[in-house]
Structure 1
Amino acid sequence: MIVAGFGFRQSATADSLADALARSGGAADALATPADLAEAPAFRALARRLRLPCRPVEPAALTAQATSTQSPASRASRGTGSVAEAAALAAAGPGARLLSPRVISADGRATCALAEGASG
């Protein structure tokens, strides 16, 4: 299973998220983001558009992940180097591996990373 993990600003649109997903490689079986962002209109709209399930990720699961990229802003606000990478890895399950490190949407409002794991 491939999970697309997202980090995004409140000003992000579904198109921002879709652009980040396309830049990361574009193929996913599920979408993941921090639990407090899982009901954001842009995230829900993308999930409906793609007909993919959403996996909210709790803060402790985010901070438990080792990320390949490091954003000082993500580290300060969420305790992880990359919200997108951490969300993808956590939602993909134990032993997941990163397929694509975080990429940033053209408008700079969203990031996406892909992880593969056995979690279904």
Structure 2
Amino acid sequence: MAGHQAMTGGGRLAVGIGCRTGARPEAVVDLVRRCLSAAGATEAAGAGVALFTVQDKVQEPGLGEAAVRLGLPLVFLPRALLEAASAGAETRSERVVALFGVPSVAETAALAGAGPGARLVVPRIAGDGVTCAVARLPAAGAPDRAGEAP
């Protein structure tokens, strides 16, 4: 798909972001850092980390500003890619299903951003109007979740 390359390899992380309208960039930055820490990484991991969300959020200024502050690319994905990743989601919000057609924007964006076969390493965390999840493609012999044995 144009403008999107799936993150590949066990060390690359896809961070999915969901938010309410008008989410503050500080809230996004704080939650992304918390999720990356839970995944055993930081935004300083460089090219191996990117932020993903649904295309509907393209006009949300807090997301773009947070990406700049974190020094991470922000990729807006079409709903169809998030819908295709829905089976891997672990949490479900009926409100989000009604609005976007997926159980969790953060989880499905992370899974879609990481690419086919990706797994959540940090399920959805919510705070201050923002949700965040982290996914990656499992490497052979690597834990499926932060701190879990394969």
Partner of 2:92: 70
Q: TM-score, normalised by structure 2?
A: 0.72
How far 1:3 moved relative to its partner? 1.0
Q: Report the counterpart of residue 5 of structure 1 in structure 2.
A: 16
1:60 to 48, 72, 80: 80
**One-letter identity of the residue aligned with 1:94:** P
Which AA in structure 2 matches 1:10?
T
1:16 is aligned to 27
**Distance in 2 between residues matched to 1:114 and 1:37, nearest whole Å:** 18
2:106 aligned residue: 84
Task: Report the AA paired with residue 76 of structure 2.
Answer: P
Cross-structure match for 2:118:
96
Deviation of the 1:13 alpha carbon? 0.7
Q: Aligned partners of 2:124, 2:97: CA distance in 1, in Å?
A: 14
When the two structures are superposed, what TM-score results if normalisation uses the length of structure 1?
0.88
Of 131, 134, 139, the residue aligned with 1:111 is 131
The Cα shift of 1:53 comes to 1.0
Task: Give the C-alpha shift of residue 77 in structure 1.
Answer: 0.8
| Structure 1 residues not aligned, in runs of 5+ | none
Q: Name the amino acid aligned to 1:57.
A: L
Give the equivalent residue in structure 2 for 1:32: 52
Q: Displacement of 1:41 after TM fit? A: 1.0
Would you say the 8 A contact 1:68–1:101 is kept in 2? yes
Q: Which amino acid is the alignment partner of residue 97 of structure 1?
A: R
- Aligned pairs, how many? 116
Q: Report the CA distance between 1:2 and its aligned residue.
A: 0.2
Q: State the 1:35 CA deviation.
A: 1.1
**Percentage of matched positions with identical amino acids:** 40
CA-atom RMSD, angstroms? 1.5
Gaps spanning 5+ residues in structure 2: where? 1-11, 44-48, 139-150
CA drift of 1:75 comes to: 1.0
Residues 32-56 of structure 1: CA deviation (Å, up to 9, x unaligned) = 0101213421111111111111111
Task: Name the CA distance, whole Å, in 2 between partners of 1:46 and 1:68.
Answer: 25
1:117, CA displacement in angstroms?
2.7
- Give the deviation of 1:10 after TM superposition: 1.1
* Contact 2:16 2:52 (C-alpha < 8 Å) held by counterparts: yes
